[in-house]
C-alpha cells in the first residue's frame, strides 16, 4: 500500500485526480463524443473559475482575510467587459479579425484595470480597518458585496445585459463527432496562460518568494526586514484584477448577465479555494478543474444532484484531506 | 558601551500584563544570556525588541537610537536578526530560498556563505530540499544561518536548545561561540548548563521583572544567588 502511495506520489499525487475523474466519467458516460464535449466544457469552466478564485486563495492565505466581497470584482469585471464590447460593437461586427481581437483585448484589459483600481479602494477603505478580526471582516465584506451589487444594479439596470462576442469566438469545431465550442477553448487557453504567468511570478521572482513565505509566516518575513503590508496591497489588487478578468470571461461564456452574477459565483469560488488548500495557486487550479469537470459530468449523468455536486465534492475531499488537496502550508 | 538598552519596559498582550518592568543593557560583543522559567517573559522581551509586540511604556535603544514603536522590518534593517523559538523556517520553501530571503539584495556574499557551510555542513547537503523535510536540529541550523548570512550587529535567539538531541545542542553551542566572535548574541535560555558555557553577561527575568543582572562568571560561582533567583525554576 505504501509502495502504491509512493508511486502515485511520484506520478503527480493529488494532481492525478482530474484524470481519475475524467476516466471514471468516460466509463460511466459510454459515448466518447459526449464525454469529450463535457470534458472540454469542464476544463474551460474550471479555468474561468480558477481566474476568479486564484486571487481569493492568495488573499486568504497571505493576508488571513475572509473577503466575501471578492465576487463583487467578478460582477464588476463582467459588466465593464460587456459595456466595453457594446461600445466597440463596430469593431466586433467588422470582417477584420484583427479588429475583433482588438475589441476583445480592450474589453479584457478594461475589466482587469477596473478590478485593479477597485481592489486598491476596497483594501484601503474596507479591509484595512478590519485586519485580524474575522467576524468584522465577514460582516463588512458581505455588506460591501451587497452595496456593490446595488451599485451595479443602479448603473446597468436589472434587465439582463447581453454580452457581445467577437465573431471569431462564435461557433464550434466538430472533432470526432463532438461539438467543441471555440469560446471554451479560448477560455481554457487564457486561463492556462494566466496560470503559467502566476506560477512563474511566484516561483521565479523575489516578490513571488516573499508572497510564498508570507503565506506561511508573515511575522518571520517582517523579521527578515520586509514590509509585508505593502505586499498585501499588491496581492489584493492582483486578486481583484484576476477576479474581474474571470468575470469578464464568464460574461462572454454566459452571454446574458445580471448583477447577481458575482453572488452566484461566490459559493463556487470559496469551494474551489477550500478544496485546493489556502494560499496555493496549484491547489486552486486543481480545485477549479475538479469542480468544472464534476459539475459537467454530474449534470449529464444525474441532473437532479448537479446542484449539490460541488458541495458533495468538497465534503468528500475535506473528509480525506482537512486542509485541502494542496495547501501552501503543510 | 551598550549595544542595546531596555529601559523600564512594560508589554501587555491583550488584557494580560506580561512585562512589568524590564531594564537591562546588552554590551557589544559576546553572548548575553536572559535566563528565566517558562512564562517569565523571556520570549515577550525578544518580541518587544523586534517590534512584534509594542511595549508601552518603556524604551528600547539600539546603537544609541530609540527604536521603540518602529515597524519590525525597520528594526530588522537596522541590524537585528531574530531566531524565534519555533525557528520560523518556511517549510514550503527550499533551504536555498529560505537563505535568499534573509539577504536584502537576493545575492549571497560568498565568504559568508562559505562560513555558513563550515558551521552547518548539513545545509549545503540539503540546499535544494524543501525545509519541511529537515530534522528539528537542521531547521534550527537553518534559522541561525539565516541570521548570519548578512552582517548583523545583534542576533536574538529564543531557546535554541529546546527539544534538540544533546549532540546537536553541543554543536549549536560551538557555532554560537564562533558567531559571537563577530556578532553580539542575546540568548534566551532555560538550560542553565548551556547558558553558563556561552554567556559573558546575563540577567534573570521572573514574572515580567528583571530580578538579577551581572556577569555569568560571578553568577555561576555563586550557588546561593542561583538558588535565590533561579530556585527550582530553571
Task: Name the average pLDDT for chain B.
Answer: 92
Answer whether A217 sits within 8 Å of B88, measured CB to CB. Answer: yes
3-state secondary structure (DSSP) of residue A177: coil
Number of domains in chain A: 1
Strands, DSSP E only, in B15-129?
16-27, 31-35, 59-62, 65-66, 80-83
The CA-based angle B54-B57-B59, given to 5 degrees, is 80
| Structural domain includes residue A195 | yes
Q: What pLDDT is stored for residue B16 in this prediction?
A: 86
Q: Is A231 a member of any domain?
A: yes
| Nearest by Cα to A247 from A316, A161, A169, A329 | A161
Q: Is residue A108 part of a domain?
A: yes
Residue with cell 508601552: B56
In a domain, residue B158? The reply is yes
Is A3 inside any structural domain?
Answer: no
Residue A328 in contact with partner chain B when CB distance is under 8 A: yes
Beta carbons of A72 and A266 less than 8 angstroms apart: no
User: Is there a domain that residue B200 lies in?
Assistant: yes
Q: What chain A residue is nearest to B146 in terms of C-alpha separation?
A: A224
User: pLDDT tens digits for B120-174?
Assistant: 999 999 999 999 999 999 999 999 999 999 999 999 999 998 888 888 899 899 9
A225 neighbourhood in chain B, CB within 8 Å: 73, 76-77, 104
Between residues A61 and A73, the one the model is more confident about: A73
- B80 part of a folded domain: yes
Question: Does a structural domain hold residue B102?
Answer: no
Q: Which residue of A has its CA nearest to B148?
A: A224
Whether B100 is in a domain gets the answer: no
Q: Do B92 and A220 touch (CB under 8 A)?
A: no
pLDDT of A330 = 58
- B50, B76, B91 member nearest A216 (Cβ): B91
Rounded to the nearest angstrom, the minimum Cα separation between A78 and chain B is: 35
User: What pLDDT score was predicted for residue B174?
Assistant: 92
Instruction: Please give the tally of structural domains in chain B.
Output: 1
Task: Tell me the pLDDT tens digit for each residue of B61-84.
Answer: 999 999 999 999 999 999 999 999
**pLDDT for B59:** 93
- Judge: B93–A213 Cβ closer than 8 Å, yes or no: yes
- Residue A1: inside a domain: no
Contacts of A164 (CB under 8 A, 6+ apart): A82, A85, A86, A89, A92
Omega before B57 cis (within 30°)? Answer: yes
Q: Give the CATH number of the domain where residue A316 resides.
A: 1.10.3470
Q: To the nearest whole percent, how much of chain B has pLDDT over 70?
A: 98
Percent of chain B having pLDDT more than 90? Answer: 77
Domain containing residue B164:
2-91+154-229
Establish if A9 belongs to a structural domain.
Answer: no
Phi, psi of B86 (to 5 degrees): -90, 10
The CATH number assigned to the domain holding B193 equals: 3.40.50.300
ipTM of predicted assembly, 2 dp: 0.92
Please say if the pLDDT value at position A49 is more than 60.
yes
CB nearest B73 (choices: A212, A222, A329)? A222
Test A225 with B104 for CB contact under 8 angstroms. yes
Amino acid at each position: 500500500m505504501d509502495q502504491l502511495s509512493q508511486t502515485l506520489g511520484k506520478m503527480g499525487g493529488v494532481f492525478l485526480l482530474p484524470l481519475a475523474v475524467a476516466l471514471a466519467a468516460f466509463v460511466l458516460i459510454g459515448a466518447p463524443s459526449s464525454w469529450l464535449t463535457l470534458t472540454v466544457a469542464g476544463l474551460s469552466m474550471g479555468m474561468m473559475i480558477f481566474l476568479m478564485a486564484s486571487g481569493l486563495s492568495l488573499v486568504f492565505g497571505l493576508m488571513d482575510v475572509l473577503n466575501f466581497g471578492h465576487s463583487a470584482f467578478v460582477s464588476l469585471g463582467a459588466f465593464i467587459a460587456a459595456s466595453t464590447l457594446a461600445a466597440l460593437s463596430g469593431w466586433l461586427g467588422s470582417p477584420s479579425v484583427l479588429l475583433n481581437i482588438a475589441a476583445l483585448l480592450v474589453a479584457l484589459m478594461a475589466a482587469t484595470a477596473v478590478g485593479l483600481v477597485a481592489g486598491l479602494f476596497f483594501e484601503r477603505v474596507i479591509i484595512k480597518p478590519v485586519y485580524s478580526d474575522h467576524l468584522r471582516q465577514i460582516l463588512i465584506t458581505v455588506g460591501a458585496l451587497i452595496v456593490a451589487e446595488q451599485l451595479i444594479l443602479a448603473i446597468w439596470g436589472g434587465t439582463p445585459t447581453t454580452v457581445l462576442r467577437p465573431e471569431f469566438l462564435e461557433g464550434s469545431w466538430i472533432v470526432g463527432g463532438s461539438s467543441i465550442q471555440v469560446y471554451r477553448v479560448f477560455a481554457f487557453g487564457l486561463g492556462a496562460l494566466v496560470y503559467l504567468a502566476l506560477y512563474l511570478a511566484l516561483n521565479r521572482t523575489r516578490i513571488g518568494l516573499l508572497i510564498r513565505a508570507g503565506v506561511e509566516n508573515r511575522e518571520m518575513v517582517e523579521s527578515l526586514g520586509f514590509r509585508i503590508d505593502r505586499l498585501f496591497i499588491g496581492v489584493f489588487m492582483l486578486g481583484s484584477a484576476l477576479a474581474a478578468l474571470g468575470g469578464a470571461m464568464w460574461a462572454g461564456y454566459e452571454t446574458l448577465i445580471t448583477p447577481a452574477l458575482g453572488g452566484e459565483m461566490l459559493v463556487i469560488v470559496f469551494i474551489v479555494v477550500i478544496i485546493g488548500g489556502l494560499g496555493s495557486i496549484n491547489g486552486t487550479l486543481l480545485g477549479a478543474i475538479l469542480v468544472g469537470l464534476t459539475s459537467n459530468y454530474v449534470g449529464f449523468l444525474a441532473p437532479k444532484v448537479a446542484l449539490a455536486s460541488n458541495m458533495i465534492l468538497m465534503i468528500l475531499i475535506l473528509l480525506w484531506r482537512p486542509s485541502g488537496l494542496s495547501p501552501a502550508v503543510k | 558601551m551598550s549595544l542595546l538598552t531596555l529601559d523600564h519596559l512594560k508589554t501587555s498582550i491583550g488584557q494580560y500584563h506580561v512585562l512589568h518592568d524590564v531594564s537591562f543593557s546588552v554590551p557589544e560583543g559576546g553572548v548575553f544570556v536572559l535566563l528565566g522559567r517558562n512564562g517569565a517573559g523571556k520570549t515577550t522581551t525578544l518580541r518587544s525588541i523586534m517590534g512584534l509586540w509594542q511595549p508601552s511604556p518603556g524604551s528600547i535603544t539600539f546603537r544609541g537610537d530609540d527604536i521603540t514603536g518602529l515597524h519590525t522590518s525597520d528594526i530588522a534593517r537596522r541590524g537585528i536578526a531574530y531566531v524565534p523559538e519555533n525557528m520560523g523556517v518556511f517549510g514550503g520553501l527550499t533551504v536555498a530560498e529560505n537563505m535568499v530571503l534573509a539577504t536584502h539584495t537576493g545575492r549571497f556574499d560568498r565568504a559568508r556563505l562559505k562560513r555558513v557551510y563550515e558551521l552547518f555542513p548539513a545545509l549545503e547537503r540539503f540546499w535544494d530540499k524543501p525545509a519541511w523535510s529537515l530534522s528539528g536540529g537542521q531547521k534550527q541550523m537553518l534559522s541561525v544561518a539565516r541570521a548570519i548570512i548578512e552582517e548583523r550587529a545583534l542576533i536574538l535567539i529564543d531557546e535554541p536548545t529546546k527539544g534538540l538531541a544533546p549532540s546537536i545542542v553541543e554543536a549549536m553551542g560551538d557555532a554560537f561561540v564562533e558567531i559571537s566572535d563577530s556578532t553580539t548574541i542575546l540568548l534566551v535560555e532555560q538550560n542553565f548548563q548551556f547558558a553558563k558555557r556561552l554567556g559573558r553577561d546575563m540577567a534573570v527575568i521572573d514574572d515580567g521583572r528583571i530580578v538579577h543582572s551581572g556577569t555569568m562568571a560571578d553568577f555561576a560561582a555563586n550557588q546561593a544567588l542561583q538558588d535565590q533567583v533561579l530556585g527550582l525554576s530553571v
